[in-house]
Structure 1
Amino acid sequence: MISFEEFVTARGPALLRFGYLMCGDRHLAEDILQEVLAKVYRRWGRIARAEPPEAYVRRALLHQYLSWRRRRSSTEAVVPAVPESADLAVLAEQVAARDEMWALLATLPRVQRAVLVLRYYLDLPDAEIADLVGCAPATVRVHAFRALGTLRATLSTVTSEARSG
C-alpha cells in the first residue's frame, strides 16, 4: 500500500493539472486540491486499500470543484474594484438587519426554524429536509408556509409600529 505522502508526491502534479483544466485558474485549482487532499488524508488507509486511490481523489476533486462553483455562485460577487474601506453606516445597517432576522427566527418553533434554515441556507430540497426532520415532504412545505407567514406578520407589525412611532 502506498503512503499518502508518496501518493501526493507522485500524483500531485497530475491532479493539479486536472484541477486546472476544470477551472482554468491555477490558484483556484491549488485551493480545491488542497481541500480535497485534507479530506482524503483522514481516510487514506481505507481509500488506498478499497480502490485505485487516484480515481477516488480525482472524483473527489471533481465533486469539490462542482460544490465550489455552487457556493461561489451564491455567495461571491465580482466587483470592478475593491473599495478602499467599508462604509460603516451600511455595515451597521447590515448587522442590525441580520440581528433582527436571527431574533425573528428564534421566535419560531424549532421544526419551522430548522425547515427554513435547511431550505434557504443549505438549499436542500423538500425530500431531503423531510428525511432529516423525520416527516413527509408535504409537512415540510406546511412548516415552511407557516414559518414564512409568521415572519411576514411579525415584520409587518414591526414595520407599522416603526412608521407610527
Structure 2
Amino acid sequence: MDVTYEEFVDSRLAALARYAVILTGDRETAQDLVQETMVRVQLNWRKVSRADLPERYVKRMMANLYVDWQRGPWWRRVRLRGDADETVPVPGDIADGTADRDLLWGVLAGLPRQQRAALVLRYYEDLPDAEIAEALGCSVGTARGYISRALSTLRARLTSRALVTEGMR
C-alpha cells in the first residue's frame, strides 16, 4: 500500500523535527530546516515514496540541506546568543546539569557542519561509516575523518572548559 505525503508527515514529522534539533542544535534553525526539507519532499514525493526507506531518504535530504546552508548567505550563520564562555556554571549553582548541557550544545555548535552531521548520523542515527559517507556525499575515509576530528575537538574543548571550571572552585 502506498503512503501519501500527508500520511508520511502525520506519522514522521515529530521524529524528523527531533532529528533536526540534534543536527542543528537550535530549535529555530531546526524548524527552518524541517520546513524547507518538507517542501522539497512534497515537490518530489513520487521519488521519495519509491525509495526503499523514505524516512532515511528524507533524513539524508535534511543532512545535505543542513551542510549546504554553510555555503548560503551570511545571515543564516549569524547567531544572536552570548559567548560560549557565559555558559560556564557558577560554583555551587543548582543548575549545573543544565549548564553542562548548554556547554555541550555550545561546543557542538562550534563544529563545522560536516563534522556535526557526521556525529549525528553516527551517534543519533547509529549509521555505519558507509551510510554516513553516502549521506554526506563523501568517501568512507572522509566520513571517518569528520567523526575523528569532531570527537578530538569535543574532547579538547570540554577538557579545557573543565579545567577552567575547576580553577574557579
Q: TM-score per shorter chain, which class?
A: 0.3 to 0.5
Q: TM-score, with normalisation over the residues of structure 1?
A: 0.44
Q: TM-score, with normalisation over the residues of structure 2?
A: 0.43
Larger relative helix fraction? 1
